[in-house]
Amino acid sequence: MKLTRQAIADVILIEPAVHGDERGYFFESFRKDQLEQTLGHSVNFNQDNESLSSRGVLRGLHYQLPPHAQSKLVRVISGEVIDIAVDIRVGSPTFGQHVKAHLSGSNKHQLFVPRGFAHGFVVLSEQAIFAYKVDNHYAPEHDCGIHYNDAALGINWQLNTSQLVTSAKDAQQPTLLTRQQTAPDTLFEYGKNYYA
Residue ranges of domains in the chain: 2-189
Instruction: Concatenate the DSSP letters of all residues of the chain into one string.
Output: -EEEE-SSTTSEEEE---EEETTEEE-----HHHHHHHHTS-----EEEEEEEETTBEEEEEEE-TTS---EEEEEEESEEEEEEEE-EET-TTTT-EEEEEEETTT--EEEE-TTEEEEEEE-SSEEEEEEEESS---GGGEEE--TT-GGG----SS-GGG-B--HHHHTPPPHHHHHHH-GGGSEETT--TT-
Of the residues 62, 98, 109, 119, which is catalytic? 62
pLDDT band at residue 153 under the 50/70/90 scheme: very high
Decide if 195 is catalytic: no
Nearest one of 148, 134, 45, 52 to 100, comparing CA atoms = 148
CATH code linked to domain 2-189: 2.60.120.10
- pLDDT tens sequence across 73-114: 999 999 999 999 999 999 999 999 999 999 999 999 999 999
Section 28-39 average pLDDT: 94
Catalytic residue among 63, 109, 119, 132: 132
138 is catalytic: no
Model's pTM, two decimal places?
0.95
